[in-house]
Structure 1
C-alpha cells in the first residue's frame, strides 16, 4: 500500500527491504532522497538502529512509518534525524503533506 501511495505522489521507490542488510545495500546503491522505515525489521536489527546507521553512513534521513510512535521510540530514533513519524494505518493526506513539505525543503516536517 505504501509503495502505491508513494508512486501516486510521484515518488520513485527504489526497492523494499525487509532487513538491515537489504536497507543498507539499497541506500548505498541508490542514494535515495529519503527512506521510509518501519520500527520492526526482520533479523537482529530494528528499523530505528537501521535508520541511524543509514543516516550516519549516507546522510539519508528516514520517514518512520510504523505502529510504534511512542515517545520512547521517537527518543531512540532522534539520532537518525527523521523527517517525520507517520502512524499506521497511513492516511494518504498525511503522507501527501509530508512529501510536499520535504520537496519544499522544510528541515523539520
Structure 2
C-alpha cells in the first residue's frame, strides 16, 4: 500500500480478484519513458471508493488509467513517471496541498491540463484554477457515465 492507503497494484476493472501483472506493467512503464508519448488518464482523488469507481468506469470504457493518486505529491511523481495525456483532479486531497496546487505543478512541469471532478465548483475555486487552463469541470456527485463522456471528449480533441 502507498502512504495514501491505495494499493500499489490496483485490481483490474473486470471485477477479478487477480492483480495486474507487475512484469507487464513495468514493461509498459519503460515504454512510456522510452517514447515520451503521453497516454492514458491519471486519476487524483483521495476518496478510495470514488477513485476505484472512476478507474473501473474508465477501464470498462476502453480507456487507459496510468495511476491513482491521493495527494499532490503522488500526482506529480506519477505524472513524472507515467506521462499521462490527461489528469482527472479532485480539489480536496489528502495531505497539505490541494488539487489546484497540484494542477499548477502539473501544468508548469509538463503542460498537463486537468478535468476537475470536485464538490468545490464555486466561482472563487474556478478563478483559482483558471491560470492552469482546466479542460472541464464535473460537479460532485457526478455519474461515471459523465466522467467517461468528458474524458473521451477531451482526449479526442487532443489528438
How many residues end up aligned between the 2 structures? 106
1:68 to 2:120 alignment: yes
Distance 1:17 1:64 in 2: 14
1:87 to 2:157 alignment: no
1:17 pairs with 64, 69, 74, which one?
69
In the TM superposition, structure 1's runs of 4+ consecutive aligned residues that sit over 3 Å from their partners are none
Unaligned runs of 5+ in 2: 1-52
1:32 pairs with 84, 91, 94, which one?
84
1:42 to 2:94 alignment: yes
Distance 1:5 1:90 in 2: 12
CA RMSD of aligned residues (A): 1.4
Alpha-carbon shift at residue 96 of structure 1 (Å): 3.2
Higher Rg? 2
SS in 2 for 1:65: strand
TM-score (norm 1): 0.88
